[in-house]
C-alpha cells in the first residue's frame, strides 16, 4: 500500500469520477484505475460501486477512505513536525515563468519570514512550471493563470505591465499608450532573460527585429548609447531610469500579466506559510 494510492482514493471520493480525480492529480485515468485495482487486490475486496460514468464508494470503500484520510493527516503532521525543525534553514525551490514576481516574492519573504532561503529557476513554458510543481521538483510555482484544483493552494501575487522604452526624441515619446501592431516592424533591444515576455512580444510583433542581450550591464549601456527601442515593465523600469528615455505603456491585453503563487496542499508548512503570506 502506497501513500499515492491513498491520495488517489481521497481524490476519487472528492471528485466523483476516476477521470476527474486523475485530472486533479495531473495523471492519467488508466493509471489511477490500475492503482485502485491494485489496492483492492491488496485489501482483498472491492471498494467501489462502478457504473459507466460514475464510481461511488461502497461500504468497504468508505472504511478505506476513513483510514486513508487518517493516514494522510498523520503524514501531514509528520511533515509539519520535521519542517518546524528545519524552518530556519530550509531552502525552498521556485519555478517561475518570469523573473519579476520572484523578486517581489523574495522581498516579502525576506522581510516577513527571516531565515527562509529561496532558490529560483526561470521556465518559459507555463506547463513545464506546473509539471515541476506536481512532480515535486519545485516547492512553489509562479504562473500566469490561477489554479483551482483541489490538491493545490493558489494566491495572486502581483500584476506586471509592459511598456516600450523609447528615446525622448522618438515620435512614440509623446504618446500616452501604444499597441503592438503600431510597434511591429521596429527594432528592439531586449534582455534574453526576460522570461515569457520574450514569447509575448515575438508573437505579437512577427515583423519586429529583436536584438537580445544576456548581460544586463551591456544591455543598459546599449540602451543609453543607441536610439533603438527597448522594453521595461512597471517592476523593472527603475533599473533603467534615463532622462533621455520615455516609458510608453502598451495597451494590448497580452502586455498585462497577473502572477499567482501555487503550492501543493500537502507541501511542508514553511512552503504553505509563503502562500499565506502572499494572501495577506
Confidence of residue 237 (pLDDT cuts 50, 70, 90): low
**260 touches 159 (CB < 8 A):** no
What's the count of helices (H) and strands (E) in the chain, helices before strands?
Answer: 10, 11
Confidence of residue 108 (pLDDT cuts 50, 70, 90): very high
pLDDT per residue as tens digits for the range 34-53: 999 999 999 999 999 887 77
Residue 143 has pLDDT above 70, yes or no: yes
**235 touches 103 (CB < 8 A):** yes
pLDDT given for residue 80 in this prediction: 80
CA distance 6 to 47: 12
Instruction: Delimit the domains of the chain by residue range.
Output: 3-84, 88-158+257-279, 160-255
Q: How many angstroms separate the Cα of 147 from the Cα of each of 89, 254, 261?
A: 29, 19, 9
Residue 240 has pLDDT above 60, yes or no: no
pLDDT per residue as tens digits for the range 202-216: 999 999 999 988 887
Summary mean pLDDT of the chain: 89
The CATH fold assigned to 88-158+257-279 is: D-Maltodextrin-Binding Protein; domain 2 (3.40.190)
Residue 89 has pLDDT above 70, yes or no: no
Prediction pTM value: 0.62
Residue 6 has pLDDT above 70, yes or no: yes
Give, in words, the CATH class of 3-84: mainly alpha
**What's the half-sphere exposure (Cβ side, CA atoms, 13 Å) at 70?**
6
Residue 193 has pLDDT above 80, yes or no: no
Confidence of residue 86 (pLDDT cuts 50, 70, 90): low
CA distance 225 to 244: 10
The CATH fold assigned to 160-255 is: D-Maltodextrin-Binding Protein; domain 2 (3.40.190)
Unique residue bearing C-alpha cell 536610439: 227
Identical fold between 3-84 and 88-158+257-279: no
User: What long-range pairs does 40-44 form, CB within 8 A, spacing at least 24?
Assistant: 42/1
Q: For residue 21, what is its C-alpha cell? A: 480525480
Confidence of residue 194 (pLDDT cuts 50, 70, 90): confident
pLDDT given for residue 239 in this prediction: 55
Amino acid at each position: 500500500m502506497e501513500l499515492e494510492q491513498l491520495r488517489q482514493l481521497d481524490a476519487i471520493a472528492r471528485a466523483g469520477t476516476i477521470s476527474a480525480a486523475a485530472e486533479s492529480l495531473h495523471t492519467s485515468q488508466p493509471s489511477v484505475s490500475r492503482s485502485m485495482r491494485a489496492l483492492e487486490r491488496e485489501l482483498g475486496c472491492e471498494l467501489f460501486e462502478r457504473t459507466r460514468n460514475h464510481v461511488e464508494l461502497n461500504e468497504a470503500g468508505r472504511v478505506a477512505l476513513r483510514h486513508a484520510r487518517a493516514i494522510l493527516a498523520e503524514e501531514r503532521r509528520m511533515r509539519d513536525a520535521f519542517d518546524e525543525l528545519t524552518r530556519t534553514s530550509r531552502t525552498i525551490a521556485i519555478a517561475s515563468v518570469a523573473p519579476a514576481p520572484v523578486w517581489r516574492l523574495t522581498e516579502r519573504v525576506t522581510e516577513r519570514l527571516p531565515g527562509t532561503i529561496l532558490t529560483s529557476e526561470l521556465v518559459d513554458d507555463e506547463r513545464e512550471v506546473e509539471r515541476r510543481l506536481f512532480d515535486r521538483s519545485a516547492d512553489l510555482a509562479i504562473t500566469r493563470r490561477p489554479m483551482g484544483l483541489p490538491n493545490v493552494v493558489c494566491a495572486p501575487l502581483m500584476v506586471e505591465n509592459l511598456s516600450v522604452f523609447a528615446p525622448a526624441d522618438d515620435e512614440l515619446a509623446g504618446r500616452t499608450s501604444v499597441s503592438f501592431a503600431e510597434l511591429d516592424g521596429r527594432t528592439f533591444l531586449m534582455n534574453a532573460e526576460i522570461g515569457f515576455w520574450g514569447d509575448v512580444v515575438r508573437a505579437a510583433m512577427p515583423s519586429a527585429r529583436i536584438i537580445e542581450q544576456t548581460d544586463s550591464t551591456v544591455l543598459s549601456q546599449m540602451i543609453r548609447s543607441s536610439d533603438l527601442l527597448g522594453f521595461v515593465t512597471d517592476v523593472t523600469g527603475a533599473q533603467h531610469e534615463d532622462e533621455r528615455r520615455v516609458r510608453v505603456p502598451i495597451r494590448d491585453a497580452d502586455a498585462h500579466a497577473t502572477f499567482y503563487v501555487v503550492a501543493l496542499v500537502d507541501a511542508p508548512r514553511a512552503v504553505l506559510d509563503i502562500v499565506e503570506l502572499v494572501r495577506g
